[in-house]
Amino acid sequence: MDPHLLTRRRLLGLFGAAASVPVLSACGSSVGGSESGTAAGGGGGTVKVGLVVPQSGVYAALGTDMQRGWQLWLDQNGGKFGDYAVETVAADEGETPQTGVPAVQKVLQNDGVDVVVGLVNSATALGVRDAVTEARKLLVVTNAGAEDVTGAKRSPYIWRTSFTNGQIAAAMGKHLAESGFSEGVYAIAPDYAAGTEVIAHFKRAFEAGGGRVVGEVKTPFGKTSDYQPFLTGIQDSGARATFCFYSGSEAITFVRQYAQFGLAGSIPLYGSGFLTEGNVLPQQGDAALGVQNTLHYTDQLDNPANKAFVDTYTAAHGEAPSCFSMATFDAANVLNRALRGATALDGDGLSAALGGIGNVDDSPRGPWTFENQTPRQNIYLRKVENVGGKLVNAVVQDLGQQSQPAAV
């Protein structure tokens, strides 16, 4: 699909998981140093970073989380990558490529940034591919989950510290096939590109393990408030489990209604981890108890890096970090590693340096590596539990390291 030919409907359909809370505050300020790009190899200048995340609209929650993760890393490391002072220029991605693409163009052309970090919307990430490639500037994506970002439409200048939609879904497909549910799972997701991509990768992994999908439906995206007709279809299908992909307000509504309809006790609910991630979980309340899902992160991970990350983040913001905070924290971390040895601040120098950083052994998610410019990382099976009066995504099992799956 040519990103320049995308219709508005198709553009909207490409974004990854999202949720909503308050608007992102202004991010970062200049830190002292010489002019941007005046030095290389980790020494002496200033690196200017365009942090393009939602500051308004329904995805502002993700933008807030992403900005907090970015700023936390800088606060803990003296505002520097190597010996470079970091100057952060914030721009509002908004909700759609109609706002996200111009925001990236602004930081590249008007602000003269060396690196762009962020992006929630996959259509924006795909839509700016030519701009960052022609500018030879590095883009580090910290959310957008479409496979094409680091797949068929990959650019040497676009890297990702988050996930791919298929990576998360395939891990659950394989797990359910191995867990006694092979005789029947019902798949449900919203009718847009991310939902289609998730179901396709789940089905391929599930069926490769001997599983059988007994029903599949895609609900009207952004328009469904009553899931009862779809829940009736699940109930009548003979399914032994349900796999779903929802996020944001749709995740809240679906999980609540699934429990209210009485399915949770007889047909357990599984999904991609965005179903219960971040601020949606407390709004789902006890309806989410027992829901199991897969994701590359939970604040419940028991490793030293995550404990320190969670403690510091929670002390600063009064709530635990999300996978969105963590991925942007990690973007700062890998840029710091790259700038220790980069020969230049252009995209070629930084891309080469990122390709050589090897194992990232101090990430809150656990060790991971870049593989084809996207993380090869551990995926965790999580279960919503009440721990001390608080709902959390507890770790059930480490499903091991997972690559970006091949195109379906």
Q: What is the pLDDT of residue 23?
A: 32
192, part of any domain: yes
Question: Same structural domain for residues 25 and 107?
Answer: yes
255, part of any domain: yes
Q: What is the pLDDT of residue 43?
A: 57
Reading phi first (left if > 0) and then psi (alpha if -120 to 50, else beta), residue 377 is in beta
Question: Same structural domain for residues 112 and 138?
Answer: yes
Tell me: the pLDDT tens digits for 258-308?
999 999 999 999 999 999 999 899 999 999 999 999 999 999 999 999 999
Q: What is the pLDDT of residue 194?
A: 87
Are the beta carbons of 27 and 51 closer than 8 angstroms? yes
Question: Same structural domain for residues 156 and 170?
Answer: no
- CATH code of the domain in which 190 resides: 3.40.50.2300
Question: Same structural domain for residues 72 and 94?
Answer: yes
Q: What is the pLDDT of residue 118?
A: 98
* Cα distances (angstroms) measured from residue 285 to each of 137, 318, 386: 43, 19, 10
Question: Same structural domain for residues 115 and 198?
Answer: no
Q: Domain count for the chain, please give it.
A: 2
Question: Same structural domain for residues 69 and 104?
Answer: yes
Structure tokens at 326: 């963590």
What CA–CA distance (Å, rounded) separates 381 from 114?
37
| CA angle 57–244–281, rounded 5-degree value | 55
Enter the DSSP assignment of 142.
Answer: S
24, part of any domain: yes
Tell me: the pLDDT tens digits for 215-268?
999 999 888 999 999 999 999 999 999 999 998 889 999 999 999 999 999 999
φ/ψ of 151, rounded to 5, equals -125, -115
Are the beta carbons of 314 and 322 closer than 8 angstroms? no
266, part of any domain: yes
Question: Same structural domain for residues 68 and 130?
Answer: yes
Which domain, by its residues, includes 386? 166-295+379-402
Long-range pairs of 40-44 with CB within 8 A, sequence gap ≥ 24: 40/342, 40/343, 40/344, 40/345, 40/349, 41/340, 41/341, 41/342, 41/343, 42/81, 42/82, 42/83, 42/84, 42/339, 42/340, 42/341, 42/342, 43/82, 43/83, 43/84, 44/83, 44/84
Cβ burial, residue 178 (10 Å; 0-12/13-18/19+): middle
Question: Same structural domain for residues 127 and 84?
Answer: yes
Query: Which residues, including other chains, have CB under 8 Å from residue 118's CB and lie 6 or more apart?
Result: 50, 51, 52, 53, 63, 66, 93, 141, 142, 143, 328
Q: What is the pLDDT of residue 44?
A: 67
Question: Same structural domain for residues 156 and 184?
Answer: no
Are the beta carbons of 258 and 203 closer than 8 angstroms? no
407, part of any domain: no
Residues in the chain with pLDDT < 70? 1-44
Go through 104-136 and write b for each residue having 16 or more CB atoms within 10 A of its CB, e for each that does not: bbbbbeeeebbbbbbbbbbbbbbbbbebbeebe
